[in-house]
A = this chain, B = another copy of it.
Amino acid sequence: MHNPQLTKEGKLKHLLSIEGLPKSILNQILDTAESFVGVAEREVKKVPLMRGKTVCNIFFENSTRTRTTFEIAAKRLSADVINLNVNTSSQSKGETILDTINNLTAMHADMFVIRHAQSGAAHLIAKHVAPHVHVVNAGDGRHSHPTQGLLDVFTIRHYKPDMHNLRVAIVGDVLHSRVARSEIHALTTLGVPEVRVIAPKTLLPEHVEKLGVHVYHDMCEGLRDVDVVMMLRLQSERMTGAMLPSSQEFFKTYGLTQEKLDLAKPDAIVMHPGPMNRGVEIDSAVADGNQSVILPQVTYGIAVRMAVMSILAGNSE
């Protein structure tokens, strides 16, 4: 089966999910991102790589936070950015998603950044677009959010460059997480020897151990001697019903406190994709503490998105 993310020559054409990306492309993205970290610190934070290109942020569900990161990244590449909230638009006039995409393509849009509540939306669009158009998945349902996964891996590599010698723990709602699965895949591909998931059974996908991870239900056991602690966001909408007792209860068992963190290696880093529920999955003191790299993740997120967009724009057929 042809990989829908790659050109026939094996170059990156769309970014839909981390699954299916060969190690060489993962490294190309991470290395390119490294070169963009410096751009943000310059007096003039712009490079002309996408001058005259049109990037459309098409958000079928609202996410100011994610939209902002892509808008900043595209503008730093000198692209023109068009923001479209499609729920308020011609969707209501009965136009299909694909007609919307066709129209924007006819306007010579070069790249679509897609956010959609339904899994597979970005794949569907990528399958459909004209050859010169690139699609970036900015989150589809609970399926994938690849730039988040990439920035997490970038951050780990930045602080712990020897990836062949790491223990990474992913903690919390793995079941509903858009990123956990991709991260496990990326970490494995890049040679991380031990990935652990720590969660109650109700928040783990079935057969999760088949992904090559070690499963822990006890957080203290799971954190022991790890180099990286990746906390996941607890979606408050998951809290209703029988799945979880209460957010206080969750914090007691799976919330990251300094006490629990002290079980990890002394130089372990703490990560969170944001937005945080302080006092639910993470204690404020830890979130703002000196082991936290949560804000650097955001910074590297811009560099990673610049890398993805500029690589895609350079791979036009």
Report which A residues bind B (CB closer than 8 A): 40-46, 51-54, 62-65, 68-69, 71-72, 75-76, 80, 82, 84-86, 88-90, 93-96, 99, 102-109, 236, 274-278, 295-299, 301-302
Q: 7 more A-B contacts (CB under 8 A) besides A68-B84, A107-B302?
A: A45-B54, A64-B86, A94-B277, A99-B274, A99-B275, A102-B298, A107-B299
B94–A275 touching, CB < 8 Å: yes
Residue from A43, A80, A96 with most neighbouring chain B CB atoms (10 Å): A80
Contact of A44 among B46, B51, B296 (CB under 8 A): B51
B276–A99 touching, CB < 8 Å: yes
Which residues of chain B are near A63, meaning CB under 8 Å?
A: 89-90
Contact of A275 among B93, B105, B298 (CB under 8 A): B93
In the assembled complex, 28 residue pairs joining A and B whose CB atoms fall closer than 8 Å, in A order, are: A40-B107, A40-B108, A41-B108, A44-B51, A54-B72, A54-B75, A63-B89, A68-B82, A68-B84, A68-B107, A69-B107, A71-B82, A72-B109, A75-B80, A76-B80, A93-B236, A93-B275, A94-B277, A95-B275, A102-B295, A102-B298, A103-B295, A105-B295, A106-B295, A106-B296, A106-B297, A106-B299, A107-B299
Complex copy number for this chain: 3
Shortest Cβ distance from A315 into chain B, in angstroms? 14
Which residues of chain B are near A96, meaning CB under 8 Å?
A: 278
Once the chains are docked, how many angstroms separate the CA of A93 from the CA of B42?
Answer: 33
B80–A72 touching, CB < 8 Å: yes
Would you list the 7 A-B pairs with minimal beta carbon distance, nearest first?
A44-B52, A64-B89, A106-B298, A95-B275, A40-B108, A106-B295, A46-B52
Once the chains are docked, how many angstroms separate the CA of A68 from the CA of B89?
Answer: 11
Contact of A103 among B88, B102, B104, B274 (CB under 8 A): B274
Which residues of chain B are near A302, meaning CB under 8 Å?
A: 107-108
Once the chains are docked, how many angstroms separate the CA of A103 from the CA of B297?
Answer: 9
Once the chains are docked, how many angstroms separate the CA of A40 from the CA of B63?
Answer: 30
Which residues of chain B are near A84, meaning CB under 8 Å?
A: 64, 68
Which residues of chain B are near A53, meaning CB under 8 Å?
A: 45
Once the chains are docked, how many angstroms separate the CA of A65 from the CA of B108?
Answer: 14
Once the chains are docked, how many angstroms separate the CA of A54 from the CA of B69?
Answer: 12
Once the chains are docked, how many angstroms separate the CA of A143 from the CA of B14?
Answer: 43
Once the chains are docked, how many angstroms separate the CA of A65 from the CA of B75?
Answer: 22
Which chain B residue lies CB-closest to A235?
B93
Which chain B residue lies CB-closest to A86?
B64
Contact of A88 among B46, B62, B72 (CB under 8 A): B62
Once the chains are docked, how many angstroms separate the CA of A134 from the CA of B103?
Answer: 27
Which residues of chain B are near A72, meaning CB under 8 Å?
A: 54, 80, 82, 107, 109
Which chain B residue lies CB-closest to A64?
B89
B51–A276 touching, CB < 8 Å: no
Once the chains are docked, how many angstroms separate the CA of A104 from the CA of B64?
Answer: 11
Once the chains are docked, how many angstroms separate the CA of A157 from the CA of B104?
Answer: 23
